[in-house]
């Protein structure tokens, strides 16, 4: 546990590239609608960010959910894949580009298929070696730092737009308020 | 198999109450946004209809999915429960009513909690006895007839609005078109 | 509505190929574990059948859900796609074959990629022409008949194993029984 | 962003109660099967941990997914709720207790309904005041620290069982390996 917490803490120190954040937020701001895609635990991070985008007042959807509309020209796809090589995610990103949507990659691999076809990439590098992967297996560090980076982006948007917690809470879905005996 | 098909065929004969259909469509037409809720296989029927509502051009959401917004005054909740007593579905319907949304129940139980608190109910009666439940267990007939009734409603809306299959197909989500080697 | 119900009723008449059913059930019986896959509304039909397989006592999983294990040699994949050409479903079926699992296709297209790579196919033919597609768009008839065929398979398995509704109900997930005030 | 990262880093310092970890792992080890439940973003954290439990070789399920079986005596429910008052989660936990399963709460609220009815609670306290909630709204800090605590638990289990990344990777679901053109 302690060793894992140290590794996470060090990884957090690496998330601070302000130029990148500026540009990422401008992609979000300019988009007509925002779509998220990911597979496995990266897909869960995609959903966590999509939910906050909705709370912030953006129109956001997750690829694969029931009423997600067809992506269109003017929309933004945020594609999350540590390796940047996940077949399904690359295929969705390719299709979105064909249609004319913008694509932003969240990945740890600069030269991956996903990065190459994206309009812009947030690279969350993992500077740890092989031994850390028996502590944080199968992309764990990427997933945790991606969630933290994206929640930090939410903090940044709230500050810039002068939003309070209440402004988001009023969009909280009703299943959170079901009353039981 | 044959016996099950006979039972389903007979059940389909019972879905034709045109007054009900008229009123159901008018609830859909008047709604600002349409929310669907159900648990288990009734939840899958809810999703199947929600997807078609999106294809038809309505703004539709499924309760519990990632970016489903908070239901509001002016919205419609379509709640699907065979027994009309499913705790979670009743709780969501109650909350939606409190907020000022309309609620339509799709159920087989006229005097259930769900029917009583709804603005309007579609009752899909099951006129078969105990023995049919070893053939079509745990609400199977309700689920199948609910899906058919709701898809029949889609057919009716398409006819009234003079929509072609192409009009719906242009809203088909992109994950259906992923290309593989 | 009425016209749609007639078309569904006629389609149900076509589901009765007993040789096919025999062989389908034997694939299910011989499998170590059963995996289901589908996209869009075919994916919802896949889930509806997977849930009943669990209720019947089989070990069943849906591809893409959180704790679905890796498919292995000895497992069965049931792949549902009307066109038999859905990229993602074909890719999953191909991968399952590589690993050594059996694949059964539920499809309306005999010569599709999915049928060709499957060990066995249930073909649910759609004998209606173009005009029916403005009534039952985008695979609606396939989805409805697939659900009915699969629920008929459940009826058949219950009869052969002499199972009562109670035998399935005891495996009913607890979220159906949540109590609310 | 920077301020948010500082707050997260400080929160991580608080996750180190080794007695708690010992007992948490022993609940996991003794369980026949492990069920996870949560709503909203806590539900996503529940799924992230459930997936890793499967990778580690445990039998794990998420409440509400298609083939999740009925919870039984001898099973463990891990219930995640920051406030410990989320109606649906409390109702599921209550039902699990009635059936005879053990319940472990992951929460930030020691005296909540969820904590009180659980056999054991992991309390992830949030020692920040009101102002931090405009930076990390609606339970963000709880969700992030819960994910990190649970991933740290995975690291701990791997170390104790001498597991390598490869041991988990061999259970990686096949949708991660779909090949596209």
**8 Å CB contact between B35 and B49:** no
Residue D43, domain extent: 2-174
The percentage of chain D sitting over the pLDDT mark of 70, rounded to a whole number, equals 99
- Record the tokens describing residue B181, joined without a space: 């080697």
- Closest CA relative to residue C143, chosen from B167, B128, B154: B154
Inter-chain CB proximity B135 and C147 less than 8 Å:
no
Range 39-78 of B in CB contact (< 8 A) with A: 47, 50-51, 53-54, 60-71
From the list D3, D136, D155, the residue facing A1 with the nearest CB is D155
More confident residue, B128 or B174: B174
Q: What is the pLDDT of residue D181?
A: 62
Q: How high is the mean pLDDT of chain D?
A: 94
Burial class (CB in 10 A: 0-12, 13-18, 19+), B50: buried
A174 to chain B, closest Cα gap in Å: 6
DSSP state of D177: G
C180, part of any domain: no
Residues contacting residue C50 through CB under 8 Å, at least 6 positions apart: C34, C36, C60, C61, C62, D66, D67
Q: What is the secondary structure of B66-129 as a DSSP string?
A: TTPPPP-TT-EEEEE-SSS--HHHHHHHHHHHHHT-EEEEEES-TTSHHHHHSSEEEE------
Taking the Cβ of residue A133 and every Cβ of chain D, the question of whether any pair is shorter than 8 Å is answered with: yes
Rounded Cα gap, residues A141 and B60, in angstroms: 36
Does pLDDT of B102 surpass 90?
yes
Burial class (CB in 10 A: 0-12, 13-18, 19+), D166: exposed
C16, part of any domain: yes
D179, part of any domain: no
- Record the tokens describing residue B43, joined without a space: 């939840």
Rounded Cα gap, residues A121 and A112, in angstroms: 10
Taking the Cβ of residue B117 and every Cβ of chain A, the question of whether any pair is shorter than 8 Å is answered with: no
Helices (H), B14-62: 18-30, 40-55
- Which positions of B are catalytic? 143
User: Based on the structure, what is the number of domains in chain B?
Assistant: 1
pLDDT bucket at B131, cuts 50 / 70 / 90: confident
Q: What is the mean pLDDT of residues B104-123?
A: 96
The helix-helix angle for B87-99 and D87-99 (nearest 10°) equals 160
Does pLDDT of B101 surpass 70?
yes
Q: Which residue has the tokens 């509309």?
A: A69
Taking the Cβ of residue A25 and every Cβ of chain D, the question of whether any pair is shorter than 8 Å is answered with: no
C179, part of any domain: no
Rounded Cα gap, residues B133 and B139, in angstroms: 8
CATH assignment of the domain containing A70: 3.40.50.10490
**8 Å CB contact between D153 and D21:** yes
Kindly identify which residue of chain B lies nearest to residue D42, measuring between CA atoms. B66
Q: What is the mean pLDDT of residues C80-91?
A: 96
Does pLDDT of D67 surpass 80?
yes
Torsion of CA B82, B84, B85, B87, to 10 degrees: 90
Q: What is the secondary structure of A7-30 as a DSSP string?
A: HHHHHHHT---HHHHHHHHHHHHH
Rounded Cα gap, residues D117 and D114, in angstroms: 6
Rounded Cα gap, residues C38 and C61, in angstroms: 12
**8 Å CB contact between B89 and B81:** yes
Kindly identify which residue of chain B lies nearest to residue C38, measuring between CA atoms. B176
pLDDT bucket at C94, cuts 50 / 70 / 90: very high
Does pLDDT of C29 surpass 90?
yes
Q: What is the pLDDT of residue A109?
A: 93
- Closest CA relative to residue A120, chosen from A99, A97, A103: A103
Rounded Cα gap, residues B57 and B51, in angstroms: 10
Chains B & C: contacts with CB separation below 8 Å: 153
pLDDT bucket at B25, cuts 50 / 70 / 90: very high
- Closest CA relative to residue B80, chosen from B98, B104, B59, B64: B104
Active-site residue flag, A156: no
A181, part of any domain: no
Q: Which residue has the tokens 């009513």?
A: B97
B181, part of any domain: no
Q: What confidence tens digit (pLDDT) does each residue in C123-153 have?
A: 998 778 778 888 999 999 999 999 999 999 9
Residues of chain A with pLDDT below 50 are: none
Pairing verdict, β D102-107 and C120-123: unpaired
Which residues on A lie below 8 Å from D12 (Cβ)?
Answer: 5, 8-9, 12
A179, part of any domain: no
- Record the tokens describing residue B68, joined without a space: 């489903």
Taking the Cβ of residue B155 and every Cβ of chain D, the question of whether any pair is shorter than 8 Å is answered with: no
Burial class (CB in 10 A: 0-12, 13-18, 19+), A114: buried
Q: What confidence tens digit (pLDDT) does each residue in A62-103 have?
A: 999 999 999 999 999 999 999 999 999 999 999 999 999 999
């Amino acid at each position: 546990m302690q060793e894992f917490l140290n590794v996470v803490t060090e990884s957090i120190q690496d998330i601070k590239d302000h130029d990148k954040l500026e540009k990422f937020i401008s992609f979000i701001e300019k988009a007509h609608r925002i779509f998220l895609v990911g597979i496995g635990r990266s897909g869960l991070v995609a959903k966590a960010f999509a939910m906050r985008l909705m709370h912030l007042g953006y129109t956001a959807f997750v690829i694969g959910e029931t009423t997600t509309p067809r992506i269109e020209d003017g929309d933004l796809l945020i594609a999350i894949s540590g390796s940047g090589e996940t077949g399904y995610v690359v295929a969705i990103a390719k299709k979105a580009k064909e249609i004319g949507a913008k694509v932003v990659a969240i990945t740890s691999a600069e030269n991956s298929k996903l990065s190459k076809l994206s309009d812009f990439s947030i690279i969350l590098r993992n500077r740890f070696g092989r031994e850390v992967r028996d502590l944080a297996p199968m992309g764990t560090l990427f997933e945790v730092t991606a969630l933290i980076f994206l929640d930090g982006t939410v903090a940044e948007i709230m500050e810039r737009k002068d939003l309070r917690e209440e402004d988001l809470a009023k969009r909280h879905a009703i299943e959170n308020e079901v009353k039981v005996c």
